[in-house]
Structure 1
Amino acid sequence: MRILIRLLFLAIFSVILLVGWFYLHIHSSIRLTTTPFQFSISPGSNLKQVSQQLEDAGVIHSKWSLILLARYLDRESAIKAGDYQLDSTLTQIALLDYLTKGDAKQNAIQFIEGWTFNQLKKTLRAYPNIQHDIGELTEQEILHQIGATETTAEGLFFPDTYFFIKGDSDIHILRRAYQAMQTHLQHTWHSRSEGLPLATPYEALILASIIEKETGTASDRAEIAGVFINRLRKGMKLQTDPTIIYGLGDQFDGNLRKKDLLADQAYNTYTRAGLPPTPIALPSLASIRAALNPAETDALYFVAKGNGESEFSTNLADHNKAVDKYQKQQK
């Protein structure tokens, strides 16, 4: 009996010590090795990893006090990824509130529809908070690292705003943008109109990139897509200037000349039938949808009016009249 009483007393005493230890840790102020103290929580980090990170940095005395507190308050999976900064001492309860409220700073980078891959890379390199891993990697090496099966990078990255924490890799951001494009492209491909002269989602991506560069007003997008689809069906050359400009690369000085239209090259859709070999820019989701669900139209031609809109024609005679009309207005 005395042994049982002693064991019971020891158990009660141990619980009191544990509760006291826990109370002391969660209500005592944490110690900051520097002020301000900055740290980052990577996406996918769990409670144990974050607690260990803070213990290793000397911010908290024991990772288990934060783990037990989070479990007790049912916030074990509520910690948010991001960049954090502590400017003054606070308790572990206040620290847990900070980590779970979503007040972390997140950097953002934006990829714009119509950009080329070179423009995208320059933007990535200009961000100081990004870890620059692509460096001198070749295009094929970059594609391999992000898990892409394509042989060229042009047009493969979905234009959007991507949030990242300080020190995140440019390869990781590119992988996310590539996966986003694949998701949108595959989803739209499965809901495409019947009978399109497009054999693969990649061909749809190529056409969408052309539509992106040709569209000045969103309301014209589907009809521009319809014109290109009609021309592909009839075996007509696409005859679209943006592909030639892309093919000229650094040789393009802002002025497209007649000799450029006549000089044969892989992206000259005046001299070659069908689609060019690759996309020419990042297409928006709207352009992808237009390529795969074009307007039903008899138009085979269009010309820019100079105000962002396009004039559509069903025959060459009317198109030439529209060209004369709107080109004169622009001179």
Structure 2
Amino acid sequence: MLKKLFLLFLLAIIVAVVAAWYLFDYHERELYAPLPIEETVVVNVNQGTSFQQLMRRFEADGWLKQADFMRLYSRLHPELTSIRAGEYAINPGRSLMDVIDQMNRGDVIAHRFTIIEGHTFRQMITALHADERIQPTLKDKSEAELMEIITGDPDLPAEGMFLAETYQFIRGATDVDILRRANRDLQSFLEAQWMSRDESLPYKSPYEAVIMASIIERETGVAAERSKIAGVFVRRLNIGMRLQTDPTVIYGMGDSYVGRITRADLQRPTPWNTYTIDALPPTPISMVGREAIVAAFNPLEGNALYFVARGDGTHHFSATLREHNNAVNRYQRNRRSDYRSSPPPAGNTP
């Protein structure tokens, strides 16, 4: 009798082991089967989400039959539980194990935010806070408070202090994250240009070079003209001639600018109006990109002291006032019907 009982017990164990192995193998094979999706699905994993919570979510979505099975499976493979928070794009044909591996690697969706050349700080911060993918932590901060958080210097004006570039980020990044990178990138690039500069340039500091770059940025969007315009302004500074550039007038007008400037606007003093001040304005007037900074440090040699918009986005450069006045009569006082002071949109011709 004891022998029969032992055999029955042994048989029961064997059956249980076989059944367990079959169920385990069945569920494990399920982990490597393609997910039941026909298009890319975006999955957000919040900070603090546990592995088992995520598995229950996948069970509810029909991606997994038994979330409890993953509790046992993860004990055998603890390395699978190191999932990272973020936003993931799950493509058709991927298996659940592929997804878990993706989340262990932190292969999240990379979003992009672009600081546009020539935009003011106000325009940039408005666009930044309009992006729902970015956490706005600076909305209630003054400019001084913002700059203290970003740079540690509350007295540094924010205008022009963030490199105009495209920045990648993951959903949930803060405005501070992006602005610190943009400021750090500006400082790094500016320092490299300053260290290799021609010391005859009329800049007393890297900050003055950024001021010049911002004026260049606002004067033209034509890459080939940046160094030409830099040359005009550098020559003017060297001979003590006023810059007399309209974008500085517009910036000084602030909200009172409604699309055009008058002779009275040119004569009305503001800290930025280069028709009334003898040097560079006190701060930049916009955000700048690398090209404008390079142009500020590499002005094109020549004798031009004037330029005027042709109306197609480019400029006519003149060495004498007489030539300049003739160009003004030609391009400004007899404007063509499709006149524009900035370049046409990409892909179009004037």
| TM bracket (short chain) | 0.7 to 0.9
Question: Is residue 117 from structure 1 mapped to residue 113 from structure 2 by the alignment?
Answer: no
User: 1:227·1:299 contact (CA, 8 Å) conserved in 2?
Assistant: yes
Shift of 1:87: 9.0
CA distance in 1, matches of 2:253, 2:196: 35
- Alignment match, 2:271: 266
- Alignment match, 2:192: 187
CA distance in 2, matches of 1:213, 1:248: 15
Shift of 1:92: 4.0
Shift of 1:229: 0.4
Report the number of matched residues. Answer: 289
Specify whether residues 273 and 83 from structure 1 end up closer, same or farther in structure 2 by C-alpha distance, changes over 3 A only.
same
Secondary structure of 1:134's counterpart equals coil
AA paired with 1:55? F
Pick one of 205, 209, 213 that aligns with 1:204: 209
Question: Is residue 221 from structure 1 mapped to residue 226 from structure 2 by the alignment?
Answer: yes
Shift of 1:191: 2.2
Shift of 1:329: 3.5
Shift of 1:99: 4.7
- Alignment match, 2:134: 130
CA distance in 2, matches of 1:64, 1:198: 65
Gaps of 5+ in 1: 1-19, 43-51, 71-75
Pick one of 225, 230, 240 that aligns with 1:235: 240
AA paired with 1:118? R
Gaps of 5+ in 2: 1-20, 56-69, 337-350
Identity within the alignment, %: 39
Matches within 5 A, 1:1-331: 29=31, 38-40=43-45, 53-55=49-51, 57-59=53-55, 61=71, 68=79, 82-84=86-88, 90-92=95-97, 94-97=99-102, 99-100=104-105, 102=107, 104-149=108-153, 151-330=156-335
Q: Under a length normalisation based on structure 2, what TM-score does the superposition of the two structures give? A: 0.73
AA paired with 1:231? R
* Bigger Rg over Cα: 2
Shift of 1:307: 1.3
AA paired with 1:185? L
Specify whether residues 29 and 327 from structure 1 end up closer, same or farther in structure 2 by C-alpha distance, changes over 3 A only.
same
Secondary structure of 1:328's counterpart equals coil
**1:52-88 CA-partner distances (Å, limit 9, x unpaired):** 8543745363877665469xxxxx9xx9985125699
Specify whether residues 146 and 63 from structure 1 end up closer, same or farther in structure 2 by C-alpha distance, changes over 3 A only.
farther
CA distance in 1, matches of 2:206, 2:164: 17
Specify whether residues 193 and 263 from structure 1 end up closer, same or farther in structure 2 by C-alpha distance, changes over 3 A only.
same
User: 1:116·1:155 contact (CA, 8 Å) conserved in 2?
Assistant: yes
CA distance in 2, matches of 1:64, 1:277: 64
Secondary structure of 2:332's counterpart equals helix
Secondary structure of 2:295's counterpart equals helix
CA distance in 1, matches of 2:78, 2:151: 36
CA distance in 1, matches of 2:76, 2:205: 55
CA distance in 2, matches of 1:209, 1:148: 23
Secondary structure of 2:334's counterpart equals helix
